A and B are shown apart, each in its own frame.
Chain A
Amino acid sequence: MAAGGVHQLAQCITCHAWNADLSMVAVCPNNNEVHIYQASPSPTSAWECIHVLQKHDQLVSGIDWAPMSNKIVTSSHDRNSYVWTLEGNEWQPTLVILRLNRAAISVDWSPRENKFAVGSGAMSVCVCYYEEDNNWWVSKLIRKKHHSTVTSVAWHPNNVLLATTSTDCRCRVFSAYVKGVDARRDATTAFGDIKFGEQLIELDLACGWAFGCHWSPSGNSLAFVGHDSTIHFVSDVGPTPRAHSLSLRHLPLRDVLFLSETRLVAGGFDCNPMLFEIDQNGVWYTTTFSVETCISIFEYSLYVFAAAKGRFKWLGNEVAELNLPSTTHENCILTIAPVISLVEKKAEKPVTCFSTSGMDGRIVVWDMNNLGDVMARLRL
């Protein structure tokens, strides 16, 4: 596997998602459109825009691409979702009425792709499923459980449990068992028999907004980040969860992704992905991935300040030409997506390649098999 590349696609990218065989990537360039690029994780490839999906009225806030059924679901600030299916060479949208009165913020396909969840600013979560009789996506709401906007949603591998993070600083786990869609036996989990919308765990660990929750491949662990520069790991997710928190030196994180049971990557306002690993005693710690450059954002802000001051004094480009510390991202990372094709995807196989997108409009592909290259790039 080759080392990944850097692709400048827009001014800002709110979210992105890969398709099943990694030949295409769907990107929202910070507006109401979704652009689909002919892409590849290899570093030398040139990406080309092949489709533009225009149906939303406002900013698209979430994209998820179902690998098995090849359907794209998008959520938007216009309070609706669309499910896009490829017919011939055209992407056909199907409107999903979410019954929300605030923006939809995030979206995630369930592992079996028969449901998807949407987090919203209306303090509720929509669980949507397809009703064959009516040829229609139905939205079922989990209401009155959150006290603020739901920033992210994540499905447990068992297709029934749903984790959410919210700006009321908490992470919660719900049952999203839908009668008639899920098999009867799926309702029996570690929590016993569960009904739709039941809150199973509430984690009050962060002291700031909570973002970006993600389950480990087995579903035993859960991680989320707080806007107070903390990251929280929950293991043994069941009736008696164990939690472990880390306070970071750096600016807050925005999104997390489990690469395997023992490895996790997180990215955020520090512009560099950080790698976390678990030791034998079950304690998570930061590994070196981005430590060398962790001061860069601080230095960078000093440079920017000096450059602005220089311009103010009519010193022109003198200061601006200073060698800026180059990180591959130059602004906050918003989304981290795994880069793994459907054929290779197995629960026990670690993800070795992932991509990040952020406010600088770049998508960067990182390959763990070629860490030397990545490190070299970080030290530029």
Chain B
Amino acid sequence: MADEEDATSSVQDADTFIETESPEVIIARIESKSRQVERLLRLPQYTEALETALQDAPSRTKDERCKSANWILVHRVLMASKDGEALLATLNPEYFDILMKYLYRGLATGDRITCDLCLKLHEKLTEKAGMGCIMRAISDTRNVV
């Protein structure tokens, strides 16, 4: 659910981020996720691999290295799975919003193959998650992936 603020809390600038973890900790976590993802891809359990990759995505941090590291991981799963429909069919709805953000990141790369794939997945995800999901992906300027 959502967090609550105390009556005495001070106003914070909209651009300040609360750095909860150091980039090194996040990188270490992404590396351990990466090993798990490779294991799941070999099985192959694509949806589980995607959920693992999307879990705890470093959206709160400002560190670009962490963000790219996690994007590479998500990209790896998306490229590995051939069937986009099956990939999304059993995906937990709580990951819809974050996946949409990654799809937009994929579209921003300009890479032909990635864009093709992301556009296809985008259509399927919109069918499942609705227009609201797109709104959340493009209007959120604070938690970028």
- Does A208 belong to the interface (CB within 8 Å)? yes
- Contact B131–A204 (Cβ < 8 Å): no
Measured CA separation A194–B47 after assembly (Å):
53
B130 A243 Cβ-Cβ under 8 A = no
Kindly state whether residue B89 has any CB partner on chain A within 8 Å.
no
Complex contact B142–A229 (CB within 8 A)? no
Q: Are B136 and A228 in contact (CB under 8 A)?
A: yes
Contact call B131/A240, Cβ cutoff below 8 A: no
Q: A205-B2, A228-B135, A229-B131 are in contact. Are A168 and B7 (CB under 8 A)?
A: no
Stretch at the interface among B9-17, B23-31, B34-42, B66-74: B9-17
* Chain B contacts for A297, CB-based, 8 A: 131
**Contact at B131–A298, with CB atoms within 8 Å?**
yes
A207 within 8 A of B: yes
Question: Nearest-CB distance from A326 to chain B (Å)?
Answer: 20
User: In this assembly, does A371 line the interface, its C-beta being within 8 Å of a C-beta of chain B?
Assistant: no
B4 in the interface (beta carbon within 8 A): yes
Whole-angstrom distance from the CB of A337 to the nearest CB of chain B? 25
A247 close to B3 (CB less than 8 A): no
Tell me which residues across on chain B come within 8 A of A200, comparing CB atoms: 7
Interface contact tally, CB-CB below 8 A: 81
**What are the residues of chain A within 8 A of B4 when measuring CB–CB?**
203, 240-243
- Residues from chain B with Cβ under 8 Å of A208 in the complex: 135-136, 139-140
Chain A residues near B142: list those with CB within 8 A: 169, 207
> Considering the chains assembled together, what is the distance between the CA atoms of A359 and B30 in angstroms?
47
Least Cβ–Cβ distance between B145 and chain A, in angstroms: 13
Q: With an 8 A cutoff between CB atoms, is B129 at the interface?
A: yes
- A10-18, A26-34, A51-59, A249-257: which lies at the interface: A249-257
Bound state CA distance, A6 and B89, in angstroms? 42
Q: Is B132 an interface residue (CB 8 A)?
A: yes
- Chain B residues lying within 8 Å of A169, measured Cβ to Cβ, are 14, 142
Q: Which residues of B contact A199 (CB under 8 A)?
A: 11
Q: Which residue in A201, A241, A245, A249 is a CB contact (below 8 Å) of B132? A: A249
Given the complex, which residues of B lie within 8 Å of A204, measured CB to CB? 3, 5
Which A240-289 residues have a C-beta within 8 angstroms of B? 240-245, 247-252
Contact B7 A191 (CB under 8 A): yes
Count residues of A near B (Cβ-Cβ below 8 Å). 36
Min C-beta distance of A118 to chain B, whole Å: 21
8 Å CB contact of A228 from B5, B6, B13, B140: B140
For A205, the chain B residues whose CB sits under 8 A away are: 2-3
What residues on B are CB-neighbors of A191 within 8 Å? 7
Partner of B130, one of A145, A240, A242, A250: A250
Complex CA gap A297/B131 in Å reads 10
Give the docked Cα–Cα distance between A143 and B140 (Å).
Answer: 26
> From residue 69 to 113 of chain B, which have CB atoms closer than 8 A to chain A?
97
In the complex, what distance in Å separates the CA atom of A83 from the CA atom of B7?
34
- Is A80's beta carbon under 8 Å from chain B? no
- Please give the distance in Å from B47's CB to the nearest CB on chain A: 21
Query: Does B43 have its Cβ within 8 Å of any Cβ on chain A?
Result: no
**Chain B hits for A252, CB < 8 A:** 132, 135, 139
Question: Does A202 sit at the interface, judged by CB under 8 A?
Answer: yes
In the assembled complex, how far is the CB of residue B104 from the closest CB belonging to chain A, in whole angstroms?
A: 14
* Complex: A243 Cα to B7 Cα, angstroms: 14
A239 and B5 alpha carbons, distance in the complex (Å): 9
- Is A201 in contact with B2, judged by CB distance below 8 angstroms? no
Given known contacts A207-B143, A244-B1, A248-B130, A239 and B7 CB-to-CB distance under 8 angstroms: yes
Task: Flag if A251 contacts B5 (CB, 8 Å).
Answer: no
- Please name all residues of chain B whose beta carbon is closer than 8 Å to the beta carbon of A230 when the two chains form the complex: 132, 136
B30 to chain A, nearest CB (A): 23
**CB-CB under 8 A for A251 and B1, given A202-B9, A208-B140, A228-B139:** no
Q: How far is the CA of A147 from the CA of B13 in the complex (A)?
A: 7
CA of A200 to CA of B4 in the docked complex: distance in angstroms?
Answer: 12
Given contacts A232-B2, A247-B136, A249-B130, could you give 17 more A-B pairs where the C-beta distance is less than 8 Å? A147-B14, A202-B5, A202-B11, A207-B136, A207-B140, A207-B142, A208-B139, A209-B139, A229-B133, A230-B136, A239-B6, A243-B1, A243-B2, A244-B1, A245-B1, A250-B132, A251-B132
Residues of chain A whose beta carbon lies under 8 Å from any beta carbon of chain B? 145, 147-148, 168-169, 191, 199-205, 207-209, 227-230, 232, 239-245, 247-252, 297-298
In the complex, the 4 A-B pairs of residues with the closest C-beta atoms, listed nearest first: A249-B130, A229-B132, A208-B139, A207-B140
